[in-house]
A and B are shown apart, each in its own frame.
Chain A
Amino acid sequence: MPKHETPLLDQLISGPWPSFVDDLKSYSEYRHKNPKNVEYQIPEDVVDDLLGVLELSYVDKETHWKHGGIVGVFGYGGGVIGRYCDQPEKFSGVAHFHTLRVNQPNGKYYSTEFLRAICDLWEFRGSGIMNMHGSTGDMVFLGTRTEQLEEIFYELTHKLNQDLGGSGSNLRTPSCCLGQSRCEWACYNTQEAAYQLTHEYQDELHRPAFPYKFKFKFDGCPNCCVASIARSDLSVIGTWKDAIQIDQEAVQAYINGEIPPNGGAHADGDWGPFDIQKEVIDLCPTQCMWMEDGKLMINNKECTRCMHCINVMPRALRPGNDRGASILVGAKAPILDGAQMSSLLVPFIRMEEPFDELKELIENIWDWWMEEGKNRERLGELIKRKGFRELLNVAGLKAVPQHVQEPRHNPYIYWYEDEVPGGWQRDIKEFRKRHQR
């Protein structure tokens, strides 16, 4: 007999997609049976009460979680998010329901041994309910009581060699695509870059000293599987400088229909036989490809590396060998002044360990943002407020046409005084000698 009736939530049990309600209900029963005799450190009926409070939200169409609550572990200003229920008498099991963010391994590979240990810890000291993963990339522990926070942190660090992730006005947990571990297009080791920067900037990650959040994301190629260009203050997107590698025999195999185009991604559509002219050459945004004597030709100097041809013919085309990344900065979601995409700052940077050039750039930008940024102002908003040239100044970089989609629409150029011969200090009397009033 469940603790709370949940007739509305029960309607989310049917249908083919994995039912989180069914998962929670099954787990609630398991928690009561407790076959492994776990000495639960928070109420046994936490899952029942979570279902209960969610059912109440389904009736009320309003949330029942209170605003904030400052809790954390000693010495850290992030990684724990306080959460309290606004109906604690009815749902005592979730009266405290704090979140911990646990810094995921980069690329989100796990050994079963490690993840089992994580599960066991969280079942013992928390609700046993998690997100795999949170939006920024952390493993998220959903729901424990204040007195368990230090205990969990102690066990994570002492037994699992594992730290918390970021929250609040600090560096958020860096994330990356799976990179070279299993993708032929990754132009640098995204996992190593994310790992090394995570470790280099532990202080910034755990102790809020920034105007607001700051995110790094590492994409291995312009396909942007980890959405760095939309979701990070500093987006690192793999790219290359030399020619796309071509295997002409494989090109012929695609033309002859021996290999399915786009890695077989369109198998269930009725798209007819592959047509290299229509599907590759005509869709190239720079029109830099053509067929000559049965061979696929590319004018690589005109290529902008959009990945389309490579995506369509992965066995025939590969990114070049002279590889690195482009750095774009300033992406954010709409709060406050509207959404922003990252803007190109460094067309090409080497991405080799120990990533010194990248770290220099990051630290220059941080110094400026920490000095000039207003409370809760993201980097992208600061760049808009102070102008792109200020960003170039603080980064110590020159302007190049790659920085713009097109030049400015107005002549309102903010000239610096030292750029204008003679400067701005003039004598009106001298002027009047030439021009009567």
Chain B
Amino acid sequence: MAFISSGYNPDKPMENRITDIGNRHYGEFLPPVIKKNFGKWLWHEILEPGVLMHKAESGDEVYTVRVGEPRLMTVQYIREALDIADKYCDGYLRFTTRNNIEFMVDSKDKLEALKKELQSKKFPGGSYMFPIGGTGAGVTNIVHTQGWIHCHTPATDASGPVKCVMDDLFEDFQKMRLPAQLRISLACCLNMCGAVHCSDIAILGYHRKPPMIDDEYIDKLCEIPLAIAACPVGAVKPKKKKIKSEKTGEEIEVKSVEVNQERCMFCGNCYTMCPSMPLADHEGDGIVLMAGGKVSNRISAPKFSKVVVAFIENEPPRWPTLTKTIRKIVDAYAKGAKKYERLGDWAERIGWEKFFEVCDLDFSHHLIDDFRDPAYYTWRQTSNFKFTSKFPYEYADLKVEK
């Protein structure tokens, strides 16, 4: 493994340096039929799950085959896709905002061979490399984050749960039987690099234990005032502590912090600012399941996802409780919603009390908001509600047994 220089000279970093050039212009990468008809498209149709046709004013047509991809991928996987794009698509392809790959051809007669090749590609263990689907009223690919494969703050894995959920919902990726599109997202902690807060179903990693404090190191590794300021609920305070040094065995006084554990909402913002306050814990960490969000303005305004399951344990490698719970929600939605109705619109129409009943999900105090102002607006300020059989509602039923 001999070092090979790129031409960069570490003694003169500014020599021939090129900076601030930004990205390449998209115009370099458009397939000819796309370039020719740019801004001149008339309409489109989904010919079958995963296959779209767009018609241009010129009469030209472009046929797109959409396939799911794992987001985390090797260059060999990408090269497989590139080989197909070279063979069938004049050397172009594109990726979607939801981690799908799109292969485009300019006439219908080129479609079958492309589809056949995509369908035939499998990994050695048998999974599809390029499953066709992800269009229309079905489940498209999951937008997700890094998880245990690369991140320092996750409360769950990302690629693993995604693989399990998509294996389970695979039929709905390749079909369009649902009332509307169903967008699933995963973020492996509350930082939400995956911004899952407006998804039909959101899988969110969550910690449940307050941070531990590495007293001997915190003052050396962190700006303590920043760690204190990072806490949104004012639970972190400065504290001088007498501890026995791990290094010398002597008793020493250190500048550290103290956490009011009852106030902690486990957001992990202190850990983001200070590596000496780790939260991760194999028993504490797991998944919060949220539902009913969307980003489209269609029919109703965009809305946030709501917490529908307060905690699901991390169950690697196959996350069975997670997949079963999502399956229950998807099936209840498929059965109960009207055509065009997004999951959140359906839940609002039938009432969330009914949502919990028809999805067979438990309800507990964890699901009633108590975080600042928005909380009040989520309680029920009307006498209109539905009675449910799953949840007894009379005074005597509500009384907690002593």
What is the distance, in angstroms, from A211's C-beta to the closest C-beta of chain B? 13
Asked whether any CB of chain A lies closer than 8 Å to the CB of B113, the reply is: no
Asked whether any CB of chain B lies closer than 8 Å to the CB of A189, the reply is: yes
The residue in chain B whose Cβ has the minimal distance to the Cβ of A313 is B43
The residue in chain B whose Cβ has the minimal distance to the Cβ of A264 is B46
Residues of chain A with a CB closer than 8 A to B97's CB? 108, 137, 175, 177, 225-227
Residues of chain B with a CB closer than 8 A to A74's CB? 13-14, 17
The answer to whether B42 touches A283, judged by C-beta atoms less than 8 angstroms apart, is no
The residue in chain B whose Cβ has the minimal distance to the Cβ of A260 is B45
Encode B17-51 as 1/0 by CB contact (under 8 A) with A: 11111111110111100100011011111111100
Asked whether any CB of chain B lies closer than 8 Å to the CB of A415, the reply is: no
CA distance A77 to B112 in the complex (A): 48
Given A13-B123, A60-B282, A181-B34: A271 and B339 interface contact (C-beta under 8 Å): yes
Encode A178-199 as 1/0 by CB contact (under 8 A) with B: 1011111010010100010011
CA distance A108 to B24 in the complex (A): 11
Residues of chain B with a CB closer than 8 A to A112's CB? 82, 85-86, 91-93
Q: Specify which of A8, A24, A260 is in contact with B74 (CB 8 Å cutoff).
A: A24
CA distance A252 to B356 in the complex (A): 41
The answer to whether A62 touches B281, judged by C-beta atoms less than 8 angstroms apart, is yes
Given A19-B127, A40-B1, A65-B151: A222 and B297 interface contact (C-beta under 8 Å): yes
Asked whether any CB of chain B lies closer than 8 Å to the CB of A18, the reply is: yes
CA distance A83 to B275 in the complex (A): 13
Among residues 216 to 273 in chain A, which have CB atoms less than 8 Å away from a CB atom of chain B? 222-231, 237, 259-260, 262-269, 271
Residues of chain B with a CB closer than 8 A to A339's CB? 197-198, 304
Chain B binding surface, main DSSP class: loop
Stretch with Cβ within 8 A of B (4 or more), from A150-158, A392-400, A416-424: A150-158
Among residues 84 to 128 in chain A, which have CB atoms less than 8 Å away from a CB atom of chain B? 97, 99, 103-116, 119-120, 122-123, 128
Among residues 53 to 92 in chain A, which have CB atoms less than 8 Å away from a CB atom of chain B? 54, 57-58, 60-68, 74-76, 83
Among residues 289 to 320 in chain B, which have CB atoms less than 8 Å away from a CB atom of chain A? 293, 295-300, 302, 304, 314, 316-318
The answer to whether A110 touches B47, judged by C-beta atoms less than 8 angstroms apart, is no
The answer to whether B3 touches A41, judged by C-beta atoms less than 8 angstroms apart, is yes
Stretch with Cβ within 8 A of B (4 or more), from A291-299, A304-312, A350-358, A359-367: A304-312
The answer to whether A26 touches B124, judged by C-beta atoms less than 8 angstroms apart, is yes
Among residues 1 to 21 in chain A, which have CB atoms less than 8 Å away from a CB atom of chain B? 8-9, 11-21
The answer to whether B302 touches A229, judged by C-beta atoms less than 8 angstroms apart, is yes
The answer to whether B1 touches A135, judged by C-beta atoms less than 8 angstroms apart, is no
Asked whether any CB of chain B lies closer than 8 Å to the CB of A336, the reply is: yes
What is the distance, in angstroms, from A36's C-beta to the closest C-beta of chain B? 11
Given A67-B271, A111-B91, A341-B198: A131 and B39 interface contact (C-beta under 8 Å): no
Given A23-B123, A206-B19: A336 and B267 interface contact (C-beta under 8 Å): yes
The answer to whether A111 touches B148, judged by C-beta atoms less than 8 angstroms apart, is no
CA distance A27 to B124 in the complex (A): 11
Residues of chain B with a CB closer than 8 A to A22's CB? 123-125, 127
CA distance A164 to B39 in the complex (A): 29
Asked whether any CB of chain A lies closer than 8 Å to the CB of B354, the reply is: no
What is the distance, in angstroms, from A6's C-beta to the closest C-beta of chain B? 10
The residue in chain B whose Cβ has the minimal distance to the Cβ of A200 is B22
What is the distance, in angstroms, from B233's C-beta to the closest C-beta of chain A? 9
Residues of chain A with a CB closer than 8 A to B151's CB? 63, 65
The answer to whether B23 touches A336, judged by C-beta atoms less than 8 angstroms apart, is no
Given A108-B96, A202-B20, A227-B198: A18 and B28 interface contact (C-beta under 8 Å): no
Given A62-B281, A99-B150, A334-B192: A19 and B163 interface contact (C-beta under 8 Å): yes
Residues of chain A with a CB closer than 8 A to B82's CB? 112, 115-116, 119
The answer to whether A62 touches B285, judged by C-beta atoms less than 8 angstroms apart, is yes
Residues of chain B with a CB closer than 8 A to A390's CB? none
Q: Specify which of B23, B163, B372 is in contact with A17 (CB 8 Å cutoff).
A: B163
Encode A301-332 as 1/0 by CB contact (under 8 A) with B: 00001111001101100100000000000000
The answer to whether A150 touches B48, judged by C-beta atoms less than 8 angstroms apart, is no
What is the distance, in angstroms, from B317's C-beta to the closest C-beta of chain A? 4
What is the distance, in angstroms, from B168's C-beta to the closest C-beta of chain A? 8
The answer to whether B298 touches A18, judged by C-beta atoms less than 8 angstroms apart, is no
Residues of chain B with a CB closer than 8 A to A128's CB? 74-76
What is the distance, in angstroms, from B6's C-beta to the closest C-beta of chain A? 4
Asked whether any CB of chain A lies closer than 8 Å to the CB of B79, the reply is: yes
Residues of chain B with a CB closer than 8 A to A227's CB? 97, 195, 198, 295
The residue in B42, B191, B297 that gathers the most chain A C-beta atoms within 10 A of its C-beta is: B297
Residues of chain B with a CB closer than 8 A to A136's CB? 193
Encode B144-187 as 1/0 by CB contact (under 8 A) with A: 01111111111001011001101100100101111101000001
Q: Specify which of A13, A263, A285, A338 is in contact with B299 (CB 8 Å cutoff).
A: A285
The 10 closest A-B pairs by CB, nearest first: A265-B136, A15-B167, A333-B192, A67-B275, A13-B125, A61-B282, A57-B148, A27-B74, A22-B123, A119-B75
Additional A-B contacts beyond A66-B152, A66-B275, A129-B73 (14; CB < 8 A): A22-B127, A50-B149, A54-B149, A58-B160, A65-B150, A68-B152, A111-B28, A120-B75, A133-B95, A135-B143, A269-B178, A307-B298, A333-B190, A333-B195
Would you give 29 A-B contacts (Cβ < 8 Å), ordered by A? A11-B318, A17-B68, A17-B70, A22-B123, A22-B127, A27-B77, A67-B275, A75-B19, A105-B25, A106-B23, A108-B97, A109-B29, A110-B94, A112-B85, A116-B79, A119-B78, A130-B73, A131-B73, A131-B146, A132-B78, A135-B193, A158-B7, A160-B24, A181-B30, A182-B104, A184-B42, A318-B43, A333-B187, A335-B269
